[in-house]
Amino acid sequence: MSSTELPGVRSTAEPSAPAEAARVADGEQLRTVALPGLELAVRVRPPARTDLPPALFVHGLGGSSQNWSALMEQLADTVDGEALDLPGFGWSPPPGDRDYSVRAFARAVIRYLDAAGRGPVHLFGNSLGGAVSTRVAAARPDLVRSLTLVSPALPELRVQRSAVPTALLAVPGMAALLGRIAQGLTAEQRTRGVTELCYGDPARVTPEGFRNAVEEMERRMALPYFWESLTRSSRGIVDAYTLGGQHGLWRQAQRVLAPALLVYGGRDQLVSYRMAHKAAAAFRGSRLVCLPEAGHVAMMEYPEVVAAAFRELLKDTEDGRG
């Protein structure tokens, strides 16, 4: 469920609308979109051609739009890609109502798509962003032409032991305790721990990518709402897991009409690999890609593989076979 702030992006610092210190990959832009009561940072990669279909990428808990840079680069000749920083993450300020629920995040995505007039889009989601994207696709099928989920945070009966510390963030008072414990750790130590948790093979991270992630970790930890955003978002996931009936995430998955691509990692320590086939059965007509060596963020570890799988989905959908 967590991807706080992950290394792996080859990037350069360039001026941007949200902040001059924001880090963007070569060819990307970062801008701010202001809606009534909502402000979002949006990472944009100009498409190779003007006739490409729009796509929107939604990151996981503790992550940011930067987690999608490698995949957006791979798909620059296939989609017109944008990635959101969810409220309280990346360069987006926290929500004014302090609502970090999955429903609230879904509303933010829907409001952005409605305001931008870009729908229907090819919607991508990782972890928490996968749960958010599932709810968006179920509630507003007119906004989604395909759904690609990488290790989506869908309810599990038996949470993996390695995911327990993330789940504990939802316990009242636990964030303050973890914050005191973490005070003795350097940004480099924190980043290394997150990398080992989220990557199937941490050795795949480039030295430059790791340095950039340490810098971003330092920036994020200095924000006054850092722990609140993690805590309340964790509670939001737990609350979403406990919802039953038509509002439950598995029921929402069954309502999705768009063709779906599901990507799971065999070394994922946060979303169980054993959930892959249950998810494939829930999303009607979906296709499943399992990467035995990948961890929780396959789009960062194996962007070329995820991109190829998406292109295949797109080709088959256009040919009427998907």
Q: Under a CB-based contact definition with an 8 Å cutoff, are residues 167 and 155 in contact? A: no
The pLDDT, as a whole number, for residue 299 is 98
Per-residue pLDDT of the chain (322 residues; tens, 9 = 90+): 445 566 653 333 333 345 455 778 788 999 999 999 999 999 999 888 889 999 999 999 999 999 999 999 999 999 999 999 999 999 999 999 999 999 999 999 999 999 999 889 999 999 999 999 999 999 999 999 999 999 999 988 655 554 445 554 444 544 555 555 566 788 899 899 899 999 999 999 999 999 999 999 999 989 999 989 988 998 899 888 888 778 899 999 999 999 999 999 999 999 988 899 999 999 998 999 999 999 999 999 999 999 999 999 999 887 654 4
Which H/E stretch holds residue 29? Answer: strand 29-35
- Please tell me the pTM assigned to this model: 0.89
42 closest CA partner among 85, 106, 3, 12: 85
For helices 207-221 and 187-198, what crossing angle results, to 10°? 120
Residue 3, helix vs strand vs coil: coil
DSSP assignment of 69-110, as one string? HHHHHHTTTT-EEEEEE-TTSTTSPPPTT---SHHHHHHHHH
Considering only the top CATH level, what class is 11-318?
Answer: alpha beta
Could you give the C-alpha distances from 79 to 45, 114, 143, 147, in angstroms and in order? 10, 19, 15, 13
Residue 287 DSSP code: E
CA dist., res. 63 & res. 45, Å (int): 18
Q: Under a CB-based contact definition with an 8 Å cutoff, are residues 135 and 170 in contact? A: no
The pLDDT, as a whole number, for residue 178 is 56
Residue 33, helix vs strand vs coil: strand
